[in-house]
Amino acid sequence: MCGIVAVHDPVSATGPDLDLGRAMLDRIGHRGPDGRGERAVGPTWLGHVRLAIVDLDAGDQPLGPADDHWAVVNGEIYNHRELRTVSGLHFASATDSDSEAALAAAVAGDLEALADLRGMYAFVVAHPDGRVTAVRDPLGVKPLYWARVDGATYFASELVAFDPAMRTRVEEFPPGHRWTPEEGLVRFRSLHVPSTQITDRDAALTQIRETLITAVRRRMMADVPVGVFLSGGLDSSLVAAIMASFADEVPGPVHSFAAGTAGSSDLIAARRVAEHLGLEHHERVYDADEVVSVLPDVVASIESYEPSLVRSAVPNYLLAEATAPVVKVVLTGEGADELFAGYAHFRDIVDAPDLREALIDGVSGLHNLNLQRCDRVTMAHGLEARVPFLDRDLVGLAGRLPIEWLLPGELGQEKAILREAFTGWLPDDLLWRPKEQFGDGSGTADVMLERAAELAPEDDWADQRVSRLAAPRSREELAYQRMFADHLAGIDQRVLGRFATA
């Protein structure tokens, strides 16, 4: 996990602007506290800040020379060892870094080679003949932004990296695409692939359980201790239970981390789960004053002002801050609600095709919402978050389930089929605990509502508007917009798209 910057300038007689590239990299230094590297390759400059997790000694970047091809990679390729032996890709470098699989796939130039990469990634490769390749994973788990200005193309992991003068030109790089100057954007893998529906419910329960177990074990790959963000809800508790069952596969004990206001339901439930599983548990308890004081940092880190995203980001941010000194990698429960219809608003959709479409839209839009929040609040503290529910196989499996199996069961409980699949893995009262939004269960939402008037006290808040941003929908949103504008001068609503207004 890292931060990357690239400048590709084939038109300037003096080559890429190294000082500009270095300034961009400075702005995202928080993403890589363990190292920094750069390399100029013809018309391309590559910059990288590293969070060392795999191949600690030899995994520095830019990665190369692979026959003089060089790469900067952000993310993890979970099947890199398999690809070394069965893919036919040429691994020219002499490291054990998982990022070599990304470099090898880009050098091959084959869309199928990119499609075979399993993991979360965004990377840029500079080729010896002056070409450049940029790639982002199909779900957009890892961020990538770009701007094209006067014949040059700039890439970075976060919006803040870009010089204020070019921020009106910044766009989100689309998930599941490869870009080269010669071919432009080309999709290399679709997120949702039509396939045969499962008809045997017992078989489905087995497949759900086995697929999630495999996804969690893949994401336990690390040369450093790992942990889990544990809210006490179903999704993170299942991840924790699987990690506890395979604890011998990671260095040291499995650590769990929970956050909330004193006495909040999340803290109580997480404590019980951790005790049941024998995890090494850590808590971050905070009060209303801490929530309000940290808000500008939270809004700046998530690069969004959407109120529900901010509310859920506050406990995540404080939790990541407390987690980073203990471990470098955490697994989370992101994505389960989109796959298995966990949100309350899905209950209002009575037509099966409409619900299916809503679930597809939910998964497809995660890169602008919860995945953005998850990446930013963790990387603000040099911490890597991994999302096993969004494993390719589990996303595909969820799409094969009959839609009626995703509706509340006899107990009226959301995600009933996921709960059934893991019967016996947790005490029943925890396995069937009703869902709460993270901001609610942690007690943060109550604090935010209480203090909203202090955040934007003007009586005429509805007439207020921050330049370039959408009209605020509430006093709370106006306050976050002002914090956002202080951090990202020049960013407009066109650049933000739906991830600021969903």
CA 49 to chain centre: 18
DSSP3 helix / strand / coil % (the chain, rounded to 5): 45, 20, 35
pLDDT digits (tens, 9 = 90+) for 349-388: 878 889 899 999 999 999 999 999 999 999 999 999 999 9
CATH superfamily of this structure's domain 201-450: HUPs (3.40.50.620)
- Check if the beta carbon of residue 253 is closer than 8 Å to that of residue 280: yes
- Check if the beta carbon of residue 148 is closer than 8 Å to that of residue 173: no
* Furthest-apart CA atoms within the chain: distance in Å: 70
234 closest CA partner among 273, 285, 276, 280 = 273
β-pairing verdict for 132-136 and 119-126: antiparallel
- Check if the beta carbon of residue 261 is closer than 8 Å to that of residue 285: yes
Catalytic residue set: 2
Axis crossing angle, helix 475-487 with helix 288-302, rounded to the nearest 10: 50
425 closest CA partner among 201, 203, 208 = 208
Query: Residues annotated as binding site for L-glutamine?
Result: 98
- Check if the beta carbon of residue 6 is closer than 8 Å to that of residue 45: yes
pLDDT digits (tens, 9 = 90+) for 28-66: 999 998 889 999 999 999 999 998 776 666 568 899 877
CA distance 187 to 199: 31
pLDDT digits (tens, 9 = 90+) for 220-260: 988 888 999 999 999 999 999 999 999 999 888 999 999 99
Q: Quickly tell me which residue has 């084959």 as its tokens.
A: 110
Average pLDDT across the chain, whole number: 90
Beta strands in 93-213 (DSSP E): 119-126, 132-136, 145-149, 152-156, 170-172, 177-180, 184-187
Confidence at 324, pLDDT banded by 50, 70, 90: very high
DSSP conformational letter for 471: P
pLDDT of residue 148: 96
Report the side by side order of strands in the sheet with 226-229.
280-286, 255-261, 226-229, 329-331, 384-386
Confidence at 500, pLDDT banded by 50, 70, 90: very low
pTM: 0.93
- Check if the beta carbon of residue 254 is closer than 8 Å to that of residue 230: no
Give me the amino acid identity at 491: I
CA atoms within 13 A on the CB side of 164: 6
Q: Quick check: do 2-187 and 201-450 share a fold?
A: no
> Higher pLDDT residue, 152 or 473?
152
Domain ranges of the chain: 2-187, 201-450
Which residues is 133 bridged to in the sheet? 125
Q: Does 2-187 carry CATH code 3.30.1330.20?
A: no
